[in-house]
Structure formats: C-alpha cells, structure tokens
Structure 1
Amino acid sequence: MKVQNKTILIVEDDVKIRKLIKLFLENDGYEVFEAQDGEEGKRLFKEHDPCFAILDLMLPKTQGEELCRWIREEEKSDIGIIFVTAKTTEDERILGLKAGADDYVTKPFSPSELVTRVDTVLRRTGTRCQKLSKKGLTLKPMKGEVTYKGDTLELTSFEFRILEYLMIHAGQVISRQQILDALYDMNQKVVSERTIDVHIRHLRKKLQAITHQSFIQTVRGMGYKFDA
C-alpha cells in the first residue's frame, strides 16, 4: 500500500520560532527535521528527502530564496514549500514565489494558520510524496525512483511497475496472470506469462546486485511474492 510521506524540513535561525512551528506540526502528525541555517538545511534535505519545507527568507550562510532555488533546480524536487518571512513588500513576496515557493506567511504569524497552509498546499502536492518502503527499499511512484539505503536502482519502466505492484501486495502470492492483467493492456498487445518471468529475473538480478538479498520469492506453481 502507498503511504503518505509526512516529513517536513524547517529551516529557521530563530530557535523559539522554529521550536514553536515544530510543536504545532508534530501535534498535527508530521515528522519534523530542523535546521538553523541554509547549509544545514541542504544537508538535512539530502539526508531525509522531506515531503515539505518551511524556509525563513533571511538565513545564515545560504538565504532562503537561494535554498528554495537549490531544491527546485539542483535537487529537481517539486515538494511543497512555504516561506516564513518578516519581509512584507509585494516585490519581496513576488520574488520569493518566483524562486519556487508555493505560499508565504509573514511574521508575526499564527502557528495554527501555518499548519493549515501546509495542509492546504499538501492537498495539491501530496501525491508527489507517496512512497512504498520495505526493508530499506523505497519506491516513489510519482518520481519513478527506487532506492536502497540511499543508493539508486536503475530499472526499466516495466521492471519498476512490476516491483511497485509486488510491493503494494507485499506478502501475497501474485500469479503471472495477475501481473499481466494489472500491467498490460491486453487489447493492444499479446504477452505470454514467460515474458513476466524474464522481467522478474532481470529485476531480481538488479535488486541483488545492490541489496545482496532476495526480495522477490518464487512460489512454485503459483507465482511470485514480495518478501514483507
């Protein structure tokens, strides 16, 4: 089953404001990572791959606007981003939005309002954060990415879809015909069950090369099972 990633990175140099935001977000069910400057924000972003970021515009080392551009352009990430800023002029707000932010909140602000704005942005962007995670293996359907403890697996599109389908049904025995029915348009292409075996063999080889373990089991006479 796909799970919603509810991790948020806060980059704010004011400790009191940062702790207050964290408290309200955690009360709303989010997992929060904190950074006090832009460089620490970059490090935590790479380490935790959060689903959302709350950035102060005025930050030590790397400004919030620059950090936002880095997330968008260097990391190629389209997560939700909100600026928290004391800047109130229209030009400054527009500049922040042009850097890639989805919204902004001006100081002083209500923490409850900020959480509401986060929830609102996530309703538009949250599907980008769905992921499947089992035993160190993480698959992100919207990004088309598979990683194992931070290392990326290079899969073909069909290998990716097979792995996603098996992970969604982890622990269940899935027949070759079920995979064919779920992943192929049988009105357009005739595919044999033997084709599934070939794809599974290639997928296993790639998984074992990087994980040194077998995630996909063969259930003789029945099909395949992702080891949950």
Structure 2
Amino acid sequence: MRLEAAGGIVLLVGAVAALVWVNVHGSSYHDFWDHHIEFGILLFDELFAVDEGLKAWVNDGLMVIFFFVVGMEIKRELVVGELRDPRRAALPIIAAGGGMFVPAGIFALMNMGGDGIDGWGIPVATDIAFVVGVLALFGRRLPAGLRVFLLTLAIADDIGGIAIIAIFYTADLSLPHLGLAIGLLALIIAGQRLGIRHIPVYAVIGIILWYATHESGIHATIAGVALGLLT
C-alpha cells in the first residue's frame, strides 16, 4: 500500500514540478522534451529505426508498458475479479461512452459553424495515468469494485479516444503496418490456443507489434492494451 501511495505522490509532484518549470523557463523545458533519440535494429540487412523526441518516447514507449500493466489488471478482473459478470463489465464501458460523447457534443454545439469545430475530439480524452496516480494515493482504503470501475472506465475512454484520433484525425494511416499489427495479434492468440508459454517469443512479437502499430499512425499505447488483455 505504501509503494502504491508513493507512486501516486511521485506522479503528482512531477506534474507540479513540470508546471513550475514550463512557466519559469519554458524554452529549456521544451528543449528538454524535444531532444531526439534514435533507436534501431538491423534485421535482414535492413535498418528498422525510430527517431523521436524524448516526449514521444515517453508517450509512445514508456506509456505502452503502463497500458500493458493496466491491461493485465483489467484482464484479471474480467477472468476472476469484479468484471467477470458481463453486466458489471458493461457499466464502466457505458460510462466511458457517456464520458466521450457528452463532452464532444457540448464542444460541437458551442463551436457550431466556427473554425474550432474540428477540435471536437479534444475533450473526449482522459488521462489514465492521473487516474491511477490518484487511486494509488488511497491504496487499499478504496473499495476494490470502485477501483476496477474507474480503471476500466479510464482505459475504455482512452481506447475510444485513440480510435477517434485514428479514424478522424490521422491523415497518413499506413495500412500495411496496420495489417501487420493485426496479424501479430492473431499470431499471439493462436500461440495461446496452441499452449505456447515461452515468454521470450511473446516479447519479440510484442516489440514488433509496437513498431508496426507506431508506424501505422495509430497511437502505440493501443498495442500495450491489446497485449495486456491477451496475456
């Protein structure tokens, strides 16, 4: 419980520190996060590389691991926990739908006919990292059912937000990479049905899945969610 609370405190302190930093010396803040890092693998005489800023590596890299862990927790609740009853599982998903469409509808009504109407997808998103951080502050004092409800709601909202961005805001969607990602997910499912439990195999497939999802133009965190739910 103390470890969970410590994680929540670190997250909130980091958010406050970032707000102070960007307001006191904004240029150094942006320079820090825009610093580029390239990572690549030479495979079959071809270099597969990703060159992104530090901010993108956090959003598309570290957050994938975060979503993977949350996805595993949701999977556990679906199998043996609070969400094993389909009616209980449906409730947070319905709530997430309301949390997406109501704000988007209000935004669209307020900006109808104006230049800002294209931003209707902005209020759809939530921030699951802060949800988990706040939940961690309460630790075991928070009822298990409420914790699972909020986690499921947040991750369903994030998946919905990613889907909206992919459908309405992604101009350069790469269908070959998207097809590869779907094929890799099918391969993972097939491996599980065949009883393959060799973790390094799934780790390699997971890395390729992350690369394919990232290159497809869809936010790579969806790969983390999918892997977590399939684990």
Q: Select the structure that is richer in helix.
A: 2
TM-score band w.r.t. shorter chain: under 0.3
TM-score normalised over the length of structure 2: 0.23
- The structure with the largest alpha-carbon Rg is 1
TM-score normalised over the length of structure 1: 0.24
